[in-house]
Amino acid sequence: MFRVMALASLIMLASCHRQAAAPADAPTGLAVAPGDGQVTVTWDQQPELTYWIFYQPGSTVTAAAPGVPLLFDVQSPRVVFPLVNGTQYAFIMNATKDDSRAGPSSAVVVAVPRLSGSNWNSGLSLGPQNLNGVGYNPTLNRLVTVGNAGTIFAGDFNYTNTNPPGVTAWTPPTSLPTGFVSDLSAVMFSGSQFIALGTDGSILTSADGNAWILSTHPVSSGGAAGPRMNSIAFGIVSNATIYVAVGDGGNIFTSPDLMTWNPQTSHTGNNLYNVSFPNGVFVATGANGTLLTSADAINWALPNSIPSTSNALRGATFGAGSYAVVGDAGTILTSTDGTNWSLITPAPPLTQDLRAVRYGTRFVTVGQGGPVAYSDDAINWLPTSSDSTADLAAVIFTPGMYLAVGASGANAVSR
């Protein structure tokens, strides 16, 4: 008799715990904004509901259909990746409440992911100082930009944020060497830390972009008297890291550890404005059309074939099987081997001074007047669309987004 009564009690308790009713309405306000290899899904989120996104290539999709990819318990906005650029995807949503059955589905919305780099939006100025460099740590998902008078800002990458665009917030350092006011010409992430270069040769390092340490081993002993140092890069040569810094007067210094800096012969007295390590080769660019390459950062040479130009060359990158170098007065050089170079004349021609170039998913160059042009092959260039007119000095690619910085704290993103 006791067992029968206990079983009856359990049945009564179970009958009291009924499944919650499904939401009566479909999610509203569903919108899908295309991005680079991804999309951003937004909707009118209600706090008591749990939302599901279903998607697949094509023009239609059915919620909970067998084999359809899904995302559970999502919050608006939600980035969906990785997706294939140029492919149409269909998206649909529904919701549950307190583990209920799914409610009605929304209408299907389609979107086609596309490359970034063509359309730009600017953020509020971080001024008044000019920003000269930008670096990105993919592990911390953090950006750092540096500029004149010891200016440093760090910001956590945030693809969907609109104010400021692309980062959650730009913040000054939590710790900076007392009295440090040197102009910073460049910053990079070496794989383990951020490294900033001062025009006086000073070196600052930071593990997180917020707390900075001044190295007791500057690049050169010239200090403010020179030579001015303009750019820093690192590469892997014979399985060993080597750092390279370049500056005015053709000065090139290398170091295996950021402590011992050795001068190298550059075979030029022209100012060098930039050094990079695209496709396993060091490339240094500078005044009067100077372009030097090196496999080991020790032996530097002019390429076998390079068009004559008196315009300053400012930056180099590699992608889609080609090197691209940009410079003043719209100068663009390309090469498939880093040895034989051609002068490119875009149509319509570019006339602005080009200060930097970067390949992420396509070539993008920035400079006088903001983001200037983009290309998928380094040969055919198209002008960008942008609300930024400030001069930009540096550009970097983060997941699905380009970010550029420049004069008087200017910053702009393309997503």
CATH number of the domain where residue 329 is located = 2.130.10.10
- Number of domains forming the structure of the chain: 2
Domain boundary residue, one of 111, 128, 160:
111
- Check if the beta carbon of residue 161 is closer than 8 Å to that of residue 123: no
Q: Is 237's pLDDT higher than 50? A: yes
Judgement on whether residues 255 and 404 belong to the same structural domain of the protein: yes
Judgement on whether residues 223 and 344 belong to the same structural domain of the protein: yes
- Mean pLDDT (whole number) for 131-137: 98
Judgement on whether residues 79 and 159 belong to the same structural domain of the protein: no
pLDDT of residue 220: 82
- Interval 2-60: pLDDT, tens: 333 333 443 343 444 567 899 999 999 999 999 999 999 999 999 999 999 999 999 99
- Interval 363-404: pLDDT, tens: 999 999 999 999 999 999 999 999 888 999 999 999 999 999
Judgement on whether residues 140 and 262 belong to the same structural domain of the protein: yes
Judgement on whether residues 126 and 100 belong to the same structural domain of the protein: no
- Which is nearest to 316 in space by CA: 268, 246, 384, 254? 246
In single-letter form, the type of residue at position 358 comes to: R
Residues pairing with 120 in the sheet: 386
The Cα-based distances of 39 to 108, 161, 188, 293, 314 in angstroms read 15, 14, 29, 39, 34
- Mean pLDDT (whole number) for 323-335: 97
pLDDT of residue 121: 96
Task: Answer whether residue 50 is part of any domain.
Answer: yes
CATH number of the domain where residue 50 is located = 2.60.40.10
Task: Answer whether residue 289 is part of any domain.
Answer: yes
Q: Is 221's pLDDT higher than 70? A: no
Domain boundary residue, one of 111, 145, 173:
111
- DSSP structure string for 380-402: SEEE-EES--S-EEEEEEETTEE
Q: Please, which residues have CB within 8 angstroms of residue 252's CB and are 6 or more apart in sequence?
A: 244, 245, 246, 263, 264, 265, 266, 272, 275, 284, 297, 300
Judgement on whether residues 142 and 51 belong to the same structural domain of the protein: no
Task: Answer whether residue 227 is part of any domain.
Answer: yes
Task: Answer whether residue 177 is part of any domain.
Answer: yes
Q: Which long-range contacts (CB under 8 A, 24 or more apart) does 286-290 make?
A: 286/246, 286/250, 286/312, 286/313, 287/312, 288/312, 289/313, 289/327, 289/331, 290/250
Judgement on whether residues 336 and 362 belong to the same structural domain of the protein: yes
Judgement on whether residues 244 and 270 belong to the same structural domain of the protein: yes
- Look-up of token digits 């008044």: 128
- Mean pLDDT (whole number) for 132-139: 98
The helices-and-strands tally (H runs, E runs) of the chain is: 1, 35
Judgement on whether residues 217 and 318 belong to the same structural domain of the protein: yes
Structural domain range at position 385: 119-414
Judgement on whether residues 106 and 140 belong to the same structural domain of the protein: no
Mean pLDDT of the chain: 94
Q: How confident is the model at residue 1 (pLDDT cuts 50, 70, 90)?
A: very low
Judgement on whether residues 241 and 97 belong to the same structural domain of the protein: no
User: 3-state class of 349 per DSSP?
Assistant: coil
Q: Is 273's pLDDT higher than 90? A: yes
Q: Is 113's pLDDT higher than 90? A: yes
Judgement on whether residues 358 and 225 belong to the same structural domain of the protein: yes
Task: Answer whether residue 25 is part of any domain.
Answer: no
% of the chain residues with pLDDT over 90: 90
Within 239-331, strands assigned E span: 240-247, 252-255, 262-264, 272-276, 282-286, 290-294, 313-319, 322-327
Phi, psi (deg, nearest 5) at residue 123: -100, 175
Task: Answer whether residue 16 is part of any domain.
Answer: no
Task: Answer whether residue 326 is part of any domain.
Answer: yes
- Interval 289-325: pLDDT, tens: 999 999 999 999 998 888 889 999 999 999 999 999 9
Q: Is 250's pLDDT higher than 90? A: yes
Task: Answer whether residue 4 is part of any domain.
Answer: no
- Mean pLDDT (whole number) for 161-172: 97
Domain boundary residue, one of 111, 135, 168:
111
- Mean pLDDT (whole number) for 109-116: 98
